[in-house]
């Protein structure tokens, strides 16, 4: 994967999301949306694994260029749009949505609007983008559609499940993995300790993939 400076590097969370995507089995001809696409790794995988219509979105101009290049190198017809979460596809519906939003808790207040930290910084509770994503999911999914979103358990697994269920979706944990801290989490370890989000000396986190299904309405 081509990755210009400042674009999020695919790592453990990306791999776990791709594993969940593979296990979910993409329906033939599915319309797939990949949010916070970064290099486009998940969008490219969806296209390779059978999705006919794949759209990828990222707020970063560099990420959009990288995703377009990575799709073009593989001759895959992935539509890549720039914008904030699902705003570029407002009014559209999809059969499958994947998302790897920013989720690192940061006490710096509002997430940055520019720079590399935009790919991971997510406010004091790590939920600045997660909460918005949960709120928008029902309007984005076709009946029978599925959303897969990966984040750290530090952000609150039950909180994500409750937010999705409160909006009428069937939600569960599709995958879990304990992952050593990467560079971003290592750099913020003392801050996470002070906030009580990790134990003193803890240098790992649990990653989860939450699956949300919009079931067919009853007769």
Strand partners, 33: 55, 97
Give the pLDDT of residue 218: 43
Q: For the chain, where are the E strands, in sequence order?
A: 31-35, 53-58, 78-82, 94-99, 141-152, 170-180, 204-213
**pLDDT, mean of each 10-residue run, the chain (219 residues):** 92 96 91 98 96 95 97 97 96 97 83 75 91 96 97 96 97 97 90 92 97 77
β-pairing, 94-99 vs 141-152, is parallel
CA atoms of 32 and 208, how far apart (whole Å):
20
CA atoms of 211 and 97, how far apart (whole Å):
10
Give the pLDDT of residue 29: 87
Q: Are 70 and 3 in contact (CB under 8 A)?
A: no
Give the pLDDT of residue 213: 97
Give the pLDDT of residue 111: 62
- Kindly list the strands in the beta sheet with 94-99, ordered across the sheet, starting from the edge strand earlier in the chain: 78-82, 53-58, 31-35, 94-99, 141-152, 204-213, 170-180
* Structure-token pair, residue 153: 């358990």
What domains can be seen in the chain, in order of their start residue?
A: 12-214 (3.40.50.150)
Locus of tokens 């999020």: 8
β-pairing, 53-58 vs 141-152, is unpaired
Q: Are 138 and 51 in contact (CB under 8 A)?
A: no
Give the pLDDT of residue 219: 41
| Side-chain-side CA neighbours of residue 114 (13 Å) | 0
Residue 50: CB atoms within 10 A of its CB come to: 13
């Amino acid at each position: 994967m081509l990755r210009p400076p400042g674009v999020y590097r695919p790592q453990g969370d990306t791999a776990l999301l791709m594993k969940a995507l593979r296990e979910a089995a993409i329906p033939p001809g599915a319309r797939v949306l990949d949010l916070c696409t970064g290099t486009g790794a998940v969008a490219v995988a969806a296209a390779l694994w059978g999705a006919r219509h794949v759209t990828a979105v990222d707020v970063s101009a560099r990420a959009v260029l990288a995703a377009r290049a990575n799709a073009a190198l593989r001759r895959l017809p992935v539509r890549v749009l720039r914008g904030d979460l699902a705003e570029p596809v407002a009014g559209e519906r999809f059969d499958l949505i994947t998302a790897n939003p920013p989720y690192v808790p940061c006490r710096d207040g509002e997430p940055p609007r520019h720079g590399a930290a935009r790919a991971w910084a997510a406010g004091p509770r790590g939920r600045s983008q997660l909460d918005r994503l949960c709120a928008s999911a029902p309007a984005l999914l076709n009946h029978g559609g599925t959303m897969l979103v990966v984040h750290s358990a530090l952000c609150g697994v039950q909180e994500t499940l409750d937010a999705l269920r409160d909006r009428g979706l069937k939600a569960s944990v599709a995958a879990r993995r304990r992952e050593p801290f990467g560079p971003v989490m290592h750099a913020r370890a003392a801050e996470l300790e002070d906030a009580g989000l990790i134990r003193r000396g803890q240098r790992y986190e649990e990653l989860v993939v939450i699956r949300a299904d919009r079931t067919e309405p009853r007769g």
